[in-house]
Amino acid sequence: MLSAGLAADALGDAASDEIRYVVDTNLTAIMTTARGVIEHMAPGGDIVFIGSISANVRAGSSVYVAAKVGVQALAEALRKELAG
């Protein structure tokens, strides 16, 4: 099971380093961890991603929402890639 979550401000209120830190924590870390799991995963194995209901887009936290939508898209794309 993979999950990470740091809250963040709206894009217009966030500093560049905050944006990078939140995206690295909320999305990049999940991607790199999943990559490591794939290397050791047995056939028929599962990876469970835990995102956020905020992926349904709520105002005021666009940086967080973007990262969580990225997790949602990663899970769907990876499912298709690993399915065959």
pTM over 0.75: yes
pLDDT band at 6 (very low <50, low <70, confident <90, very high): confident
**Residues 33, 10, 73, 4, CA torsion sign:** positive
The span from the CA of 40 to the CA of 27, in Å, is 21
Over 60: is that where the pLDDT of 2 sits?
no
Share above pLDDT 70 across residues of the chain, in percent, rounded to a whole number: 88
All residues at 6 or more sequence positions from 25 whose CB lies less than 8 Å from its CB, including other chains = 4, 5, 6
